[in-house]
Chains A and B, each alone.
Chain A
Amino acid sequence: MSLAALGVAYGLWAETVHIEGTVNTGTADLEWLVDESSCNDDGIDPGYGKDVGWVSLALGPTSDILEVTVESAYPTYSLACTLAYRNSGSIPVRVKTIHTTYPNDKLTVSYWNGPVVQLDPGQQKTCTVYIHVEDQAEPGISYTFTMRINHVQWNEP
């Protein structure tokens, strides 16, 4: 209107078109599959003739953290669990390491996760964890440690 009022119309016609974009990001999640039967102490303590100690498994605050509790154990009690986890997200991930946090004066925990692999959504992998109760372990105490899966997005180095 102002231009028109000036008497010298610019003679400009204009229109505008739009591209409306939406980006939905996927998820890169791993979850432990809790299965206590995956441990080799399904009754009689391994290496012994009695059923004394045992372990219980539970998911931690997030599904990629597993809480392992050694119950009624005693020095030299040992066992191994072949634990499975899967890619529960929508993006492939690369599993790098398993991070364990345990009272190392009471327990020794080691694991074998195999080579670094890429897991597609839905795909599973196993990790074997070895647990040994040390001589410093105190009687009547349950020891809990955690196992967290360190993973990165599939296209990261």
Chain B
Amino acid sequence: MSVTTRITVAVLGLVIVLASMGVGYGLWAKTLVIDGSVANGYINADFTAASTNDPSGIIDPGYAKDVGSCTAEVIDDQTVTATLSNAYPSYQCELYVTMHNGGTVPERIDLVDITSPPEITVDELNGLSGTEIDPGQSVQGTFLVHVEQEALQGQVYTFTITIPSTVWIFGTPGFWKNWDSHNTYTQGEIEGRLVEIAASSSWLDATSVADMEAVFAAALGGHAPMESRFLAHYLATRLNNASGILNPAALHDVTGPDPGKYLGLATPSAATLTEIISAIEGKSGTSPTKDEFEIMKDVCDALNNRTI
């Protein structure tokens, strides 16, 4: 082989290698992007409006004169300021705030916490507490601010209303464990899926929500066996599959949680949920070690949190 031929072959070989790397990189990157777009739900319940029933120039509520006034303003997404001016004992006004869920997952407003001095009473009228806001939806909260007789003239009093909101990430064990808090699915719906899962699984036999809660409870605590922790995540994965939260045909790269290819997937960088479940079921009866349970737990955990 001449020198020219050798160089040509080397260059062609290099091109092929680079092309292969490029294709591989491209697929990997694409998978990441797709997964990312599916996984990254976000929460974003913000204040969008604030007002009162006694702005300046309006007759005081319950009286015949315009003496006090009450204004509210959205300072930023997370903060509303309310100011009562020239207030006096028995003066009161209603404060209205609108919260909008600009996120991608439903949010539930938890118990509203109100802190005020004894001279000021703040009550939540139409409760925000416990309200659920779907993505794109808004809710209005009303608070009554009342100045008590103990209030002194020429004073400044402050109060704070703290509105916490939370969202259960759809599909985590916590989501399923708290099924009766968010009521995304009825008990009947869940138990119907549990029966289907139990019928097709060698790992799982829960057929009632009580059984399901027991599986999740067994995984709690720092000393919970790795097998119990795996079963909790796997049950969540199966429920996600049965409920359509996870797409059975979507591709997942499990090479992160399973670098040693314990599950034996044909294409671990692009395995369908159905293939992963099948691989996990295939481990039943093989007496996995603690590390192997941890691998399966990590795979299911990543699936439930949409990080793969």
Set of chain B residues within 8 Å of A17, measured between Cβ atoms:
45-47, 77-80, 99, 162-163, 165
**A26 to B232 CA separation, bound complex (whole angstroms):** 60
Contact A22 B81 (CB under 8 A): yes
Encode contact with B along A1-27: 1 for CB under 8 Å, 0 otherwise.
000011111111111111111111111
A62 CB to closest chain B CB (Å) equals 13
Q: Closest approach, in angstroms, between the C-beta of A91 and any C-beta of chain B?
A: 5
Task: Check: B270 CB closer than 8 A to any chain A CB.
Answer: no
Residues of A within 8 A of B262 (CB): none
Cα(A12)–Cα(B175), bound, Å: 8
Give CA–CA (A26, B90) in the complex, Å: 12
Q: B residues bordering A, Cβ < 8 Å? A: 43-47, 50, 63, 65, 67-68, 72, 77-90, 95, 97, 99, 105, 116, 119-120, 122, 143, 145, 147, 151-169, 171-175, 177-178, 216, 219-222, 224, 226, 229, 232-233, 297, 301, 304-305
Q: Does A58 contact B (CB under 8 A)?
A: no
Q: Which residues of B contact A19 (CB under 8 A)?
A: 50, 72, 79-82, 95, 97, 143, 160-161, 163
- The answer on a CB contact under 8 Å between B153 and A91 is yes
With a cutoff of 8 Å between Cβ atoms, the chain B residues found around residue A53 in the complex are none
Check A6/B224 contact, CB under 8 A, given A14-B164, A91-B86: yes
Determine if B88 and A155 form an interchain contact, defined as CB atoms under 8 angstroms apart.
yes
Q: Determine whether the beta carbon of A27 is less than 8 Å from that of B153.
A: yes
Closest 10 A/B residue pairs (Cβ): A11-B172, A10-B174, A11-B169, A26-B86, A19-B161, A7-B229, A21-B159, A11-B174, A21-B82, A23-B157
Q: Pick from B44, B67, B175, B178: contact of A26, CB below 8 A.
A: B67
Which of A22, A26, A92, A154 meets B153, CB within 8 Å? A26
A residues in contact with B232, CB < 8 Å: 7-8
What A residues does B169 contact at CB under 8 A? 11-13
Known pairs A7-B224, A14-B165; A154 contacts B78 (CB<8 A): no
A residues neighboring B (CB under 8 Å): 5-29, 89-92, 120, 153-156
Quick check: B172 and A9 within 8 Å, CB to CB? Answer: yes
Taking CB atoms, residues of chain B closer than 8 Å to A11 are 168-169, 171-175, 304-305
- Given contacts A21-B122, A23-B147, whether A8 and B229 have CB atoms under 8 Å apart is yes
Q: Write out the residue numbers on chain B whose beta carbons fall within 8 Å of the beta carbon of A29.
A: 153
Q: A6-B224, A12-B174, A154-B88 known; 15 other A-B pairs, CB under 8 Å?
A: A6-B222, A10-B174, A11-B168, A11-B304, A13-B105, A15-B45, A17-B46, A17-B165, A18-B162, A22-B82, A23-B87, A24-B84, A24-B87, A27-B154, A28-B153
CA distance A23 to B116 in the complex (A): 10
Can you name 6 A-B pairs with beta carbons within 8 Å?
A7-B219, A10-B177, A19-B163, A21-B95, A23-B147, A90-B67
Shortest CB–CB separation between residue A61 and chain B, in angstroms?
Answer: 17
Partner of A13, one of B43, B65, B159, B301: B43
CB distance A24 to B83 under 8 Å?
Answer: yes
Q: How far is the CA of A12 from the CA of B122 in the complex (A)?
A: 29
Shortest CB–CB separation between residue B157 and chain A, in angstroms? 4
Q: Is the CB of A24 within 8 A of B163?
A: no
Give every chain A residue within 8 A of B90 (Cβ-Cβ): 155
- Provide the bound-state CA to CA distance between A15 and B86, in Å: 34
Known contacts A9-B305, A12-B169, A14-B165, A155 near B63 by CB under 8 Å: yes
Q: A6-B220, A7-B229, A11-B173 are in contact. Are A16 and B160 (CB under 8 A)?
A: no
